[in-house]
Structure 1
Amino acid sequence: MIQDLTVAYGKTFEKELINEIVQVGTFKEVPEGYKLMEIGDYIRGMPLLITGAIKILREDEDGDELLLYYLEQGDTCSMTMACCMGDNQSEIRAIAETDTKLIMVPIQKMEEWTIKYKSWRNFVFNSYHERLNELLNTLDNIAFQKMDERLISYLKEKARVTNDHIIHSTHQDIAYDLHSSRVVISRLLKKLEEMGKIKLHRNYLEILDL
């Protein structure tokens, strides 16, 4: 595990901190589609992503979801950190986008390491900054982009995160992530197929030229 952690965080953390993380952290290996965190859960640890990708979702009062951002290798979730520090319930849902390896850091170590290690302190602040920028990008997309533009951006980002031009999602799955309806998404996907941008299959699609 220490080798995987060093690959993911070796340029961010010093060797002493990595050794501490291995000693106190809980290693997890989860399959694609696994729900790591649910809205309303109390959070007892902070995730450090070693490999894979996790999508972070928000839910409105009607139960409809919106994709906020992805976590990738070397990332953590600032919203999780905020809940940890305040002992609050989670306001997000976290689902493994691909097979994922991560290590959960105990809450009590977060404040200790902020004082003890400059690299950890910088990592926490940088994570807040990066996640805030991603949230602002999501807000900009909703406010200023048409749904067809949002769909193209979504497909490109999903292909990048999974490193695969095959998107294993149904039209309904995509509609959930984009806070839209299946009918709208199906119509737009069909339009993209007619333009030669994608190829639709049963329960998945192939990106050709986006």
Structure 2
Amino acid sequence: MTLKEENIPPAFSHLSPDLVSEITATAIRKEIPKDTEILREGQYVKVIPIVLEGLIKVFTRHEGKELLLYYIRPNESCIMSFSASLKNEPSNIYAVTEEDTKAMLLPVDKVADWTRQFPDINTLFFQQYNLRYGELLETIHHVLFDRMDKRLYDYLQEKVKLTNKNPLKLSHRQIANELGTAREVISRVMKKLESEGKLQQLPNSIKIL
């Protein structure tokens, strides 16, 4: 489904009319079901997504363990995909839809042309760089300095905020994967948080109190 100019997301409101016309002529709007892998490590990037609705999780994986890097929210993009595409290098991250997602897909060959022809598009991606850099610093800080109970509770609160859902349908294994730890660690810390009255473990979900 191609885009109409009135459907251009707010993130593009500062762009020149000529660039907006280029985007509407070439970008594809796509609905992507929840839990769909849209990019994997080693894969060459063909399109750069701009999220219109929904949520995309970006993470890395090493020796069977995952570490959540950041989420792509509405009106945001994946700066690591942008960087890999401009350098024509394979991706070093995974991207999976966390919710049913509507995205605008920008062909990488067109984006490369636009960065040369329309300097204003660079502002968009510089803004994304700044946003992701801050989030990655925060992730590193959590991993290095925060106790697991704080990391876990902050993670669950962020999930509620991002998805507008409480209770959350999450398994201990899924949480462990995203936080880069073992399921047994999550189960132990979850019991501690529950005893402190911060959450309630239901049969198939977790409720933040």
**Is 1:156–2:187 an aligned residue pair?**
no
3-state SS in 1 of match to 2:170: coil
Give me the TM-score of the superposition, normalised by structure 2.
0.92
Give the length in aligned residue pairs.
207
User: What is the match of residue 101 of structure 2?
Assistant: 100
- Give the TM-score normalised by structure 1: 0.91
Q: Which amino acid aligns with 1:121?
A: N
Please tell me whether the aligned partners of residues 171 and 185 of structure 1 are also in contact (alpha carbons under 8 angstroms).
yes
CA distance in 2, matches of 1:130, 1:150: 20
Q: Who is 1:128 aligned against?
A: 129
Q: Indicate which of 37, 40, 59 corresponds to 2:61.
A: 59
SS at match of 1:91: coil
Runs of 5+ unmatched residues, structure 1 = none
Shift of residue 115, structure 1, vs aligned partner: 3.3
User: Cα distance 1:195–1:15, how it changes in 2: closer, same or farther (>3 A)?
Assistant: farther
Q: Which amino acid aligns with 1:147?
A: M
The 1:29/1:203 distance shift into structure 2, 3 A limit, reads same
What are the equivalent positions in structure 2 for 1:61-210 lying under 5 Å apart? 62-208=63-209
Give the gaps of 5 or more residues in structure 2: none
Structure 1, residues 130-180: CA drift from partner, whole Å, max 9, x if none?
Answer: 111111111111011111111011111111111222211100000000001
Matching of residue 13 in structure 1 with residue 15 in structure 2: yes
How far 1:118 sits from its partner (Å)? 4.0
SS in 1 for 2:8: helix
SS at match of 2:20: helix
RMSD of aligned residue pairs (Cα, Å): 1.7
Secondary structure at the residue paired with 1:167? coil
Quote the Cα distance in structure 1 between the aligned partners of 2:159 and 2:6: 24
CA contact (8 A) 2:50 2:104 kept: yes
CA contact (8 A) 1:4 1:50 kept: no
In structure 1, distance between residues paired with 2:51 and 2:197: 36
Could you tell me the percent identity over the aligned residues?
33
Write the deviation string for residues 22-69 of structure 1: whole angstroms up to 9, x where unpaired: 211122211211111111111111111111111101011x12100000
CA distance in 2, matches of 1:163, 1:8: 21
Q: CA, structure 1 residues 8+50, in 2 after alignment: closer, same or farther (shift >3 Å)?
A: farther
